[in-house]
């Protein structure tokens, strides 16, 4: 059986761009609007799953209450932890750590930011969470409110991209994508 999984990235955050990772900053008013606009003509969903970080969870809880559907928080769907790079922009890192940043962009599976989470471990935890969702909710339509890194990983898998192209997947604030998930998990893009 297939799980229909819609992916929604959180909107703009109060502390702005850069590598947010496990930092728990809130959405701006514009961030709320981005997410509301993304889901305005979508659904219906049987349930909502969200990262527990407030930039995702607050919106999911509000939407779930409005739609009368259950919301589940899953820590395994949090963003990649960027270690010493958390909160820093790519421009700032280019000034202080350009070689390391270049290695990360070239192949994030082979280079881990200082004190950060290896992308392979991140990939394993996210895909295990998706497999659990498929086992629990196959036959349903679920909205997953999460992060750019989680969505890039899932979209790269669905598109069959090589690992080195993970960071080339574009996922803007408030972006919404549809996936079909079958056992394995096997991911295909589209609703």
Cβ distance 11 to 32 under 8 Å?
Answer: yes
> How far is it, in rounded angstroms, from Cα 35 to Cα 112?
30
Catalytic residue among 10, 134, 147, 173: 10
Residue 49 host element (H or E): strand 47-50
| 147 catalytic residue (yes or no) | no
Q: Which of 12, 79, 86, 117 is catalytic?
A: 79
Q: What is the DSSP letter of 8?
A: E
> Is 81 tagged catalytic?
no
3-state DSSP assignment of residue 143 = strand
Give CA–CA dist 22/133, Å, rounded.
Answer: 22
Cα 100 to Cα 187: distance, rounded to the nearest angstrom: 31
User: So which residues are the catalytic ones?
Assistant: 10, 79
């Amino acid at each position: 059986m297939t799980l229909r999984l819609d992916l929604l990235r959180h909107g703009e955050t109060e502390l702005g761009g850069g590598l947010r990772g496990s930092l728990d900053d809130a959405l701006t008013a514009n961030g709320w609007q981005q997410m509301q606009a993304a889901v305005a003509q979508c659904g219906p969903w049987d349930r909502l799953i969200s990262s527990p970080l407030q930039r995702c969870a607050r919106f999911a809880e509000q939407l779930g209450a409005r739609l009368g559907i259950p919301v589940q928080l899953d820590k395994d769907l949090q963003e990649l932890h960027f270690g010493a790079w958390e909160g820093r922009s790519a421009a700032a890192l280019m000034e202080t750590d350009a070689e390391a940043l270049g290695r990360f962009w070239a192949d994030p599976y082979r280079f881990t930011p200082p004190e950060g989470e290896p992308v392979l471990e991140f990939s394993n935890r996210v895909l295990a969470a998706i497999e659990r969702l498929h086992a629990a909710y196959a036959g349903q339509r679920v909205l997953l409110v999460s992060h750019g890194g989680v969505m890039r990983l899932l979209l790269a898998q669905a598109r069959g991209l090589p690992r080195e192209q993970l960071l080339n997947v574009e996922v803007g604030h408030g972006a919404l994508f549809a996936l079909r998930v079958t056992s394995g998990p096997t991911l295909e893009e589209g609703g």
